[in-house]
Amino acid sequence: MNEYLEQFESLLGYKLKLDSKGQAMAKCPFHNDKNPSLSINVNKGIWNCFAGCGGGSIYSFAKRLGKALDL
């Protein structure tokens, strides 16, 4: 089990569907996202919002949500 996957799913509150490269699209929690524009890579532990919310490590993702990261 991928630790980043568990953490991203825990932070988002739902399961991610990964492709073969360990990437998934999800609804961005930082803006009113109607179509998934948040790209997550659980192998690298990184995220990027194509709508302009930014991106970075899973640590910045958790911090921006105001949640603690248990890694």
Q: Which parts of this chain interact with Zn ion (CB under 5 A)?
A: 28, 30-31, 49, 51, 53
Q: Which amino acid is at 28?
A: C
Instruction: Give the integer Cα–Cα distance in Å for 71 and 34.
Output: 30
> Looking at beta carbons only, is 18 or 53 nearer to Zn ion?
53
- Minimum Å distance from CB 45 to Zn ion? 18
Judging by beta carbons within 10 Å of its beta carbon (0-12, 13-18, 19+), is residue 30 exposed, middle or buried? Answer: middle
- Minimum Å distance from CB 22 to Zn ion? 20
> Looking at beta carbons only, is 3 or 41 nearer to Zn ion?
41
Alpha helices by DSSP H, the chain: 3-12, 58-65
- Minimum Å distance from CB 34 to Zn ion? 11
> Looking at beta carbons only, is 25 or 53 nearer to Zn ion?
53
